[in-house]
């Protein structure tokens, strides 16, 4: 493994999740020191695990300040956390308006909040990379046929949030480019997570590569975009979907 991220201090939100674990593992393999911003653990001495509620501005401000006080810089931020309400997944006609607003606030608005706080340090450094984890369903509409026969669906707020993130990414890339700060989004296709067999079969049948994705399909591209190998890439949405959106 090439240590192209050697010495870089990288924040990853939601690092205890399916994608988050894989992303952190890959970044570490490439030499980065990762700080896992999570609500589900305590803060340790070197901040590799750092308690942070990304839906709380005060919590985010405190956590970022701790990183800067200890390490003096932030080289990368991966916005990966996925907070959601208990009724997440309700069908469109059954979504409570308050639930809709809460999910937009917890996901889209929290990404803005932490990005705004972190990017102030990056502006001082005149360097830094932000990766926003989006989705193919921020680019194209869902194929609801793959959910037939299951209790699954694609939440309406998910598409709205992920589409918003992709365009927020482009805005930030344009606005902060002069500071040599790069901002890109990554849009995975469906990731296997022990979904019902009928769903997995339907999804794979439609996908040109005939399978769902895995976290290890996504993490290397996140590492690439953070690395200096991508030093002239900004404002882009990298779709990693086995060809789903190509047809």
Task: Tell me, yes or no, whether 1 lies in a domain.
Answer: no
Res. 1: pLDDT tops 70:
no
CATH code for the domain in which residue 208 is found: 3.40.50.720
Sign of the torsion angle spanned by Cα atoms 183, 181, 222, 35: negative
**Residue 11: strand pairing partners:** 35, 77
158 labelled catalytic: yes
The domain tally of the chain equals 1
Quote the percentage of the chain above a pLDDT of 90. 99
Q: Which residue shows structure tokens 């290397």?
A: 220
Residue 205 belongs to a domain: yes
- Phi, psi dihedrals of residue 70, rounded to the nearest 5°: -85, -40
Token code pair at residue 241 = 């979907």
Number of Cβ within 10 Å of residue 97's Cβ equals: 7
The answer to whether 39 and 63 have CB atoms below 8 angstroms apart is: no
| 172 in Cβ contact with 195 (< 8 Å) | no
> Which residues, in sequence order, are bridge partners of residue 238?
186
Domain range enclosing 156: 9-246
- Structural domain contains residue 197: yes
Q: What is the mean pLDDT of residues 6-30?
A: 98
Q: 179 with 158: CB under 8 angstroms?
A: no
Q: Does a structural domain hold residue 82? A: yes
Whole-Å CA distances, 229 to 5, 80, 198: 10, 22, 40
**How many Cα neighbours within 13 Å face the side chain of 242?**
19
Structural domain contains residue 4? no
Dihedral pair phi/psi, residue 14, rounded to 5°: 65, 40
What is the rounded CA–CA span in Å between residue 233 and residue 173? 10
Q: Say whether pTM exceeds 0.85.
A: yes
For residue 185, the cross-strand partners are 132, 237
> Angle at which helices 215-226 and 18-29 pack, to 10 degrees?
50
Q: Which of 51, 111, 147, 158 is catalytic?
A: 158
pLDDT at 193: 97
**What would the pLDDT profile of 182-213 be if each residue is shown by its tens digit?**
999 999 999 999 999 999 999 999 999 999 99
> Mean pLDDT over all residues of the chain?
97
What pLDDT shows up at residue 2?
76
Residue 222 inside a domain? The answer is yes
């Amino acid at each position: 493994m090439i240590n192209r991220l050697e010495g870089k201090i990288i924040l990853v939100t939601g690092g205890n999740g399916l994608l988050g674990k894989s992303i952190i593992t890959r970044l570490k393999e490439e030499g980065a020191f990762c700080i896992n911003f999570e609500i589900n653990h305590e803060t340790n001495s070197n901040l590799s695990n750092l308690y942070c509620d990304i839906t709380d501005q005060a919590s985010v401000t405190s956590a970022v300040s701790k990183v800067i006080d200890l390490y003096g810089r932030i080289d990368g931020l991966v916005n990966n956390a996925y907070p959601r309400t208990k009724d997440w997944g309700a069908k469109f006609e059954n979504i409570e308006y308050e639930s809709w607003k809460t999910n937009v606030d917890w996901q889209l608005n929290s990404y803005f909040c932490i990005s705004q706080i972190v990017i102030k340090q990056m502006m001082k450094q005149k360097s830094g990379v932000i990766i926003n984890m989006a989705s193919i369903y921020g680019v194209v509409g869902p194929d609801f046929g793959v959910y037939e026969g299951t209790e699954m669906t694609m939440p309406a707020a998910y598409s709205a949030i992920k589409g918003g993130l992709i365009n927020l990414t482009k805005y930030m890339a344009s606005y902060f480019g002069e500071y040599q700060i790069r901002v890109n989004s990554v849009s995975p296709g469906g990731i296997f997570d022990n979904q019902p067999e009928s769903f997995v079969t339907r999804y794979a049948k439609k996908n040109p590569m005939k399978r769902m994705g895995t976290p290890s399909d996504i993490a290397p591209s996140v590492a690439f975009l953070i690395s200096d190998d991508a030093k002239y890439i900004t404002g882009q949405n990298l779709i990693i979907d086995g060809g789903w959106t190509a047809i």
